[in-house]
Amino acid sequence: MRTVLVSSRAIIVVALALFAGGGAAGEDRMPDRKEITKQVLDHCRARDSYAAAEYVQALGEPPAAGRAYSDLVFDLHDACAVPEMVAMGRAGILWMLERARVLAATDPGKAANWRRAARQLSYNVASFTWPGWGEAGLVISEADRAAGDEAARLCLRLATELGEDHSSLFASQWIVGAHRLTAGLPGPAVEAFGMAREHARSGGDAAAALMAEGYAALTALLSGTGEEASLLAIVADLRKEGSEDAVFYADQIESVRKTLAK
């Protein structure tokens, strides 16, 4: 899996096939994604998000419910329903962590997979609540952003505890840095981007390492402690590197700069 931080369409996808050899019992009788999203929105708005979570968890066996939670974060984001997306993301994360706790003594491997799914879901929540993407029609409140900041920190904690590879640790450090940046904490943001750079270097991903340096330079520029020339030089180096990922990162940094400078 390539590590490409694709706008808010997060690159980490919950691989629920890890939890079952095939489709879960009754999964073929589940409502389709559009119907699940409609029901969840109806529950959230007419009743409460806890009713929506009860609905999701009653859809089928654990892998089916886990997949529904994962899909909902994407589908509610696409519906510009950010508060509901945050509520379902948090419910799904807590539900996955509880599955891991229950299985820890009897099946450590499955327990680790559920914690890994919680990490992946927390990344998606963190990405979809980051204001830096500047997505049209998406309103991210301060409460939503704060929830995303917490999800980012959980993502990094779980990635560290699970001993994930450099690619996953890079992404986890990057999303922490991104949220520290928009929380008005430039020092911790630069520190997280520096850690992301080191993981990218250790994983042999030169473009990602340059990208992390670019975000550190962007943080310094926006906080008034850096020079524009430093950022422009990194963006130029990414374009000179020329790979698909490097050019994407250069475009992304420029886009995020325009969004955050507004």
pLDDT in tens, 51-75: 999 999 999 899 999 999 999 999 9
pLDDT digits (tens, 9 = 90+) for 44-57: 999 999 999 999 99
Q: For residue 5, name the pLDDT band (cuts at 50, 70, 90).
A: low
Is the distance from CB of 165 to CB of 157 less than 8 angstroms? no
Mean pLDDT of 1-7: 40
What pLDDT, on the 0 to 100 scale, is given for residue 3?
Answer: 39
Least confident of 25-29, 102-106, 144-148, 217-221: 25-29
Is the distance from CB of 128 to CB of 8 less than 8 angstroms? yes
214-253: burial string, b at 16+ Cβ within 10 Å, e else: bbbbbbbbbeeebeeebbeebbebbeeeeeebbebbbebb
Evaluate if pTM is beyond 0.75: yes
Mean pLDDT of 91-118: 97
